[in-house]
Structure 1
Amino acid sequence: MRTQVGIVGAGPAGLLLSHLLALHGIDSVVVDHRSREHIVARARAGVLEHGSARLLRAAGLGARMDREGIEHGGIYLQYDGVREHLDFRDLTGGRTVMVYAQTEVVKDLVEARQAAGARLEFEVADTRVDELDSRHPVLRYTAADGVRHEVVCDVIAGCDGFHGVCRPSIPDGVLRVFDRDYPYAWLGILAQVPPSTDELIYAYHPDGFALHSLRSPQVSRLYLQVDPDEQLSAWPDERIWEGLRRRFALDGWELADGLIFDRSITPMRSFVAEPMRYGRLFLAGDAAHIVPPTGAKGLNLAIADVTVLAEALVALLRDGRPELADAYSDECLRRVWRATHFSRWMTSMLHRAPGADAMREQLRLSQLRYTTASRAAATSLAENYVGYPPLRLDGLDLPGA
Structure 2
Amino acid sequence: MITRPARPLGGAWLLAVFLLLAATVAMAGGPSRTRDAWLPPGSVANDPGPSRVIFPPQQLTIRFNHKLHLAQGATCKTCHARALTSASVQDHLLPKGATCDACHRSDHADLNKVRPGDDLTGQCAFCHIGYKESDGNTVARMVMPRANMVFDHQKHLARNIQCGQCHGAVDQVEMATRDQLPRMRGCFKCHQMPDSAARGDAKSDCTTCHIAANPRNPAAPARNAAVRADNPSGRIRTVFASGVLEPPRWLHNAAHTPDFIERHKYVAGNDSQFCANCHQEDFCVGCHDGRVRPKSIHPSDYIAMHPIEARQATLRCTSCHNEQSFCLGCHQRVGVSMTGPLATRELGRFHPPKGIWSDAPRKPGHHSFEAERNLNACVSCHVERDCVVCHGGAGIGGGFNPHRNGFSGGCATQMRRNPRPCFVCHLPDDGVLAPCR
TM norm structure 2:
0.17
- Report which of the two has the higher share of strand: 1
TM norm structure 1:
0.18
Query: RCO (CA 8 Å, sep 6+): is it higher in 1 or 2?
Result: 1
